[in-house]
């Protein structure tokens, strides 16, 4: 699929005298656009439901998810080297997403059963995820690249990655379209929403599962440490300038996609000379997040000047 897209882009570009592009160029740009769209769809809901810390915990659950998935694959398949897992590569993100969804649902269940504060329960599972990841990943160094997991690298996007991201976007769009009004209503007044016949508990579990899927399927492009920024910062910036919920949603979408595209272009094109050595190029995921944060401060400044600070 990726090679076909490259051929199409090069053919269209030749009509305008543009330089040929490589699979890295097309795959990387398409990946960050898909991630930006998906995160933009749920970002306003994360902020509206005050789940920023929860989304961060979901991102760090990927440490444990990857470790458990790799260990299980090595034991079940009997793999002796990384390439033995190639036929099962497509299963790894799905299993990670399943583990993340299980942890997310468990967090919600434990909070309901114990009555502890939300951040307390999340902190417990946050520690558990990091602990399990620290137990397994240092012992599986040749099976997993920690830098890839932590910071992501969109330029190495494969056909399987693109299909995964496209599927994630389709599922996220369908679920958000179906549940958006219920989630927004619940975020304002859960008791009133319940009295109106909205299944608030079930909707919360659905959102938790959706968030776990988005986080775990996006980390290869933007990384574990950076995915939370795309889920929080675009909506935080949009909240500074939006006058209603409709603007809030669309400004969040626009900010997420624009930040992803601008950040990718900066990391791809900007090179800082360092003497006689290789020039310094910024990491893709980190650059995207920095652009998001710059957009937040610009929106805050705009809101302050126009007297619309929330």
Structure-model confidence comparison of residues 242 and 5, the more confident one: 242
Q: What is the 3-state secondary structure (H, E, C) of 135-171?
A: HHHHHCCCCCCHHHHHHCCHHHCCHHHHHHHHHHHHH
DSSP-derived secondary structure letter, 276:
T
Give the pLDDT of residue 233: 92
Give the pLDDT of residue 68: 85
**Token code pair at residue 81:** 């080297």
**What number is the average pLDDT over the span 42-63?**
85
Let me know: does 227 contact 219? Beta carbons within 8 Å. Answer: yes
Give the pLDDT of residue 18: 63
CB-based contacts of 179-182 (< 8 A; 24+ apart in sequence): 179/203, 179/206, 179/207, 180/45
**Of the candidate ranges 16-20, 39-43, 228-232, 296-300, the one whose mean pLDDT is the lowest:** 16-20
Residue 23 clears pLDDT 70, i.e. is over it: no
Encode pLDDT of 122-151 as tens digits: 889 888 988 888 888 777 766 666 666 667
Give the pLDDT of residue 85: 67
Encode pLDDT of 149-205 as tens digits: 667 777 777 777 788 888 899 999 999 999 988 888 888 887 888 888 888 888 889
Split at pLDDT 50, 70, 90, the class of 271 is: confident
Residue 39 clears pLDDT 60, i.e. is over it: yes
Split at pLDDT 50, 70, 90, the class of 310 is: very low
**CA pseudo-torsion sign 71, 95, 89, 65:** negative
Instruction: Round the average pLDDT of the chain to a whole number and report it.
Output: 82
Which superfamily, per CATH, for 39-271+280-305? ABC transporter involved in vitamin B12 uptake, BtuC (1.10.3470.10)
**Token code pair at residue 304:** 């302050």
How far apart (Å, rounded) are the C-alpha atoms in residues 185 and 192? 8
Domain boundaries defined on the chain: 39-271+280-305
Q: pTM for the whole thing?
A: 0.85
Structure-model confidence comparison of residues 12 and 262, the more confident one: 262
Give the pLDDT of residue 227: 83
How far apart (Å, rounded) are the C-alpha atoms in residues 164 and 49? 27
**Of the candidate ranges 89-93, 178-182, 235-239, 282-286, the one whose mean pLDDT is the lowest:** 89-93
């Amino acid at each position: 699929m990726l090679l076909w897209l490259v051929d199409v882009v090069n053919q269209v570009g030749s009509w305008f005298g543009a330089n040929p592009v490589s699979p890295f160029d097309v795959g990387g740009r398409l990946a960050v656009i898909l991630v930006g769209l998906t995160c933009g769809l749920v970002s306003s809901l994360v902020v509206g439901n005050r789940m920023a810390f929860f989304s961060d915990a979901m991102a760090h659950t990927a440490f444990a998810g990857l470790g458990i998935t790799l260990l299980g694959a090595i034991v079940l398949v009997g793999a002796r080297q990384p390439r033995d897992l190639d036929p099962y590569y497509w299963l790894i993100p799905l299993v990670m997403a399943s583990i993340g969804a299980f942890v997310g649902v468990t967090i919600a269940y434990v909070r309901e059963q114990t009555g502890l504060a939300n951040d307390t329960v999340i902190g417990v599972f946050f520690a558990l995820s990091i602990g399990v990841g620290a137990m397994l990943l240092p012992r599986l160094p040749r099976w997993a690249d920690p830098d890839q997991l932590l910071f992501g690298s969109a330029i190495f996007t494969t056909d399987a990655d693109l299909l995964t991201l496209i599927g994630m976007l389709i599922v996220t769009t369908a679920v958000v379209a179906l549940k958006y009004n219920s989630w927004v209503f619940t975020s304002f007044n859960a008791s009133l929403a319940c009295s109106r016949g909205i299944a608030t508990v079930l909707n919360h579990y659905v959102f938790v599962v959706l968030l776990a899927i988005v986080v775990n399927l996006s980390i290869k492009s933007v990384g574990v440490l950076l995915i939370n920024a795309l889920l929080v910062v675009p909506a935080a910036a949009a909240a500074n300038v939006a006058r209603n919920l409709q603007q809030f949603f669309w400004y969040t979408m626009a900010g997420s996609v624009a930040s992803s595209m601008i950040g990718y272009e900066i990391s791809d094109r900007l090179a800082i000379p360092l003497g006689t050595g290789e020039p310094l190029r910024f990491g893709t995921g980190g650059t995207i997040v920095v652009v998001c944060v710059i957009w937040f401060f610009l929106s805050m400044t705009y809101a302050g000047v126009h007297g619309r600070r929330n």
